[in-house]
Amino acid sequence: MARICIFGAGPGGLYVALRLLQSGSFCSDDTLELFDWGNYRFEGEHGSRAAAGRICTYHHRDDPTQSYIEVGGMRYIEWDETPKGSGHRLVSTMIRTLGLQEESVPFNTTDNPLFFLRGKNFYSSDISETSPAPYNTPHAAKSPDDAFTYVADQAIQKGLELDDRAEQCRFYSDGRLSDTYRGVFEPGQRLRDIGYWNLLYDVLGNEGYRYADMGGGYESNVINWHSADALIYNSEFAPGGTFKTLRHGYSTLFARMFAEIEALSKKEGAPRFHYHARHRLHSITAPHGKISFRTATAEAPYVGGEAQTADKVVLALPPESLELVAQATRYANVEGDLLNEPKVALYRDSVIKQPSYKVAMFFSSPWWEKTKYPPRLVGSDPSATNVFGPTITDLPIRQVYYFGNNSPSGASPAVYALLASYDDESFTSFWQELEIGPNRDRLVPVSQQLQPLHGPRHAPEAMVRMLRGELARVHNGPDATLELVPTPLETVFMDWSQKPFGAGYHAWAAHYDICDVMANIRKPSRLVEGLDAEVYIVGSAYSNDQAWVEGAFCTAESVLNDFFGVAPIIDPTDYPFICR
């Protein structure tokens, strides 16, 4: 009679629950429990927002028949099922397993994005030797993505083949600066000991770095993170990239996973399944390997309940949530304080929390198509459909995606969806100060804001006007005024920097052997001499695919294979789920 408790009903937690039930590893005498601080709107369920974790599909006026925008993660890279094929193998496999393949549709990006940088409107195709981007760097004569390629060429040893996932893992641990490198850093130095901002600055100079930063669209990609990982990761966002999503929104996948969990749990011989919405893990210890934990309710999230026990616990939680759990016992001097053990704490801090922010707007017309600088939504294949953007700016909105009229039901009148701001890092604070509105004092401390649990919030008028003004300049020129952008039907925002997620995505920190962290953080008691506790950590943060659902699935699959005796869902020979 085993009790298995999973904390976190995001992608990682749902994956663990579903795969355990599919595997038949447990019997009717066992209990499988899934806890989550939030209350997701799974199929047939009433909840505060769409499923799940840092995925959240929002339909206009919260009506599933209307057009939608992804205010969280929004896409995946499809795998063609060949042994050497690229793509997200576990997400692709799960979509096929659940019968959602027919719902999979392209999410293409343009290979000729519109830019608004330093007050200048231009397209990627305009950039040339005679018409460079407005930066004082030789790299301004080419696309900003070429700067990333140039840095990689300078930094990586010639002849290395890094397309294979296993080779990439070795590179993260052992990769060294090219023997021909010339700069501040010594040739042959370990790349994992170099911050990526430091490397970019050393190779490109300040203006070159600023161009890569602003022109690349993501400040999170150019912070001072683990250079070996960054050099690989930044190849995923080149213009014209081919992604996939689901026709009715990415949240569809996680609602379907939950429905399958419930269906499997009702079969004869299956373990009993319980879903505890609005309950978070308050604290956990494992004296002598015996697991003891307390939960707290959403109404009183910092008040722990009665001590409980479990045979196995899976923490499908992001680093911010793990830290909240660790804080409850940090100064209590309790035995088996697993998350606060020195090496566990060291490894928990191996990733950098990256704030991100999204603002969705809905309009009665696609006004951007009739502006002075309309987006050129054409992929590398002229016949490609579903090309959504981006437009890239150095304004606080940063990136814009044009979802258009994507109503699942063809609702009338048509509503056109615009991801008006897709920003991260330092830009998030610009919008945070517009969240409350005039003549209102803050009533809840920022440290206790839980907006991502409850779903998108409607934007105050000042935020809407700010957005309209920035969009006007992007599409009509630097002197354009907000009146050129119509008043939206609805505007909502999602601030992923708030608890319990504390970040939109994560990046590996320099000076860590991320392969060792990835392998051992999964069972943190392995980092504590003399302790063996069946407490496990899964999620995209400590993965080979940070910021992707694939990362959560891969860490979960590796835990199931290595510690629960579940057979791999696909052959991992050419696709190790984690680095070791």
Statement to judge: residues 347 and 368 lie in one domain: no
Nearest in space to 286 (alpha carbons), one of 331, 346, 326: 326
Instruction: Kindly state the average pLDDT of the residues 213-236.
Output: 94
Instruction: Kindly state the average pLDDT of the residues 405-420.
Output: 93
Handedness of CA 445, 448, 451, 454 (dihedral sign): negative
Distance between CA atoms of residues 83 and 65, nearest Å: 39
Domain boundary among 470, 495, 520: 495
Instruction: Kindly state the average pLDDT of the residues 467-485.
Output: 99
Cα-Cα end-to-end distance for the chain: 33
Q: How confident is the model at residue 508 (pLDDT cuts 50, 70, 90)?
A: very high
Statement to judge: residues 446 and 332 lie in one domain: no
Instruction: Kindly state the average pLDDT of the residues 130-149.
Output: 97
Domain boundary among 176, 200, 234: 234
| Domain of residue 373, CATH code | 3.90.660
What residues pair up with 357 in beta bridges, in sequence order? 423, 495
Statement to judge: residues 363 and 446 lie in one domain: yes
Give 313 or 444, the one with higher predicted confidence.
313
In a domain, 253, yes or no: no
In a domain, 188, yes or no: yes
Q: How confident is the model at residue 347 (pLDDT cuts 50, 70, 90)?
A: very high
List the Cα angle 293/299/304 in 5-degree steps. Answer: 25
Number of domains in the chain: 3
pLDDT confidence of residue 239? 52
Q: How confident is the model at residue 184 (pLDDT cuts 50, 70, 90)?
A: very high
DSSP state at residue 156: B
Statement to judge: residues 464 and 539 lie in one domain: no
Q: How confident is the model at residue 299 (pLDDT cuts 50, 70, 90)?
A: very high
Q: For the chain, give the mean pLDDT.
A: 96
In a domain, 93, yes or no: yes
Backbone φ, ψ for residue 103 (5° rounding): -85, -10
Instruction: Kindly state the average pLDDT of the residues 450-479.
Output: 98
Statement to judge: residues 97 and 157 lie in one domain: no
In tens, the pLDDT along 238-289 reads 554 579 999 999 999 999 999 999 999 999 899 999 999 999 999 999 999 9
pLDDT confidence of residue 236? 64
State yes or no: pLDDT of 214 exceeds 90: yes
Statement to judge: residues 416 and 488 lie in one domain: yes
Statement to judge: residues 439 and 460 lie in one domain: yes
What is the token pair recorded at 461? 């008028």
Nearest in space to 59 (alpha carbons), one of 46, 51, 50: 50
What residues pair up with 279 in beta bridges, in sequence order? 297
Instruction: Kindly state the average pLDDT of the residues 462-476.
Output: 99
Q: How confident is the model at residue 163 (pLDDT cuts 50, 70, 90)?
A: confident
Statement to judge: residues 542 and 520 lie in one domain: yes
Domain boundary among 461, 495, 529: 495
In a domain, 105, yes or no: yes
Phi-psi region at 435: left, alpha or beta (left = phi > 0; alpha = psi -120 to 50) = alpha
State yes or no: pLDDT of 3 exceeds 90: yes
Which of 232-236, 346-350, 385-389 has the lowest average pLDDT? 232-236
Q: In 208-350, which ranges are E strands? A: 242-246, 272-277, 279-285, 291-297, 308-310, 312-315
In a domain, 423, yes or no: yes
State yes or no: pLDDT of 237 exceeds 60: no
Statement to judge: residues 428 and 452 lie in one domain: yes
In a domain, 392, yes or no: yes
In a domain, 570, yes or no: no
Distance between CA atoms of residues 452 and 39, nearest Å: 11
Distance between CA atoms of residues 320 and 502, nearest Å: 5
pLDDT confidence of residue 383? 67
pLDDT confidence of residue 84? 86
Q: How confident is the model at residue 123 (pLDDT cuts 50, 70, 90)?
A: very high
Distance between CA atoms of residues 556 and 554, nearest Å: 5
Amino acid code (one letter) for 492:
V
Range of the domain at 155: 134-234
Which of 118-122, 311-315, 385-389, 417-421 has the lowest average pLDDT? 385-389
Statement to judge: residues 382 and 473 lie in one domain: yes
Statement to judge: residues 383 and 456 lie in one domain: yes
Handedness of CA 152, 155, 160, 163 (dihedral sign): negative
Q: In sequence order, which residues have a C-beta less than 8 Å from that of residue 243 and are 6 or more positions away? A: 75, 76, 77, 78, 106, 107, 108, 109
Nearest in space to 389 (alpha carbons), one of 464, 471, 311: 471
Instruction: Kindly state the average pLDDT of the residues 6-34.
Output: 96
Handedness of CA 18, 23, 28, 33 (dihedral sign): negative
In a domain, 48, yes or no: no
| Domain of residue 560, CATH code | 3.50.50.60
In tens, the pLDDT along 56-66 reads 999 999 999 99
Statement to judge: residues 383 and 481 lie in one domain: yes
State yes or no: pLDDT of 44 exceeds 70: no
Q: CB 325: neighbour CB atoms within 10 A?
A: 22
Phi-psi region at 159: left, alpha or beta (left = phi > 0; alpha = psi -120 to 50) = left
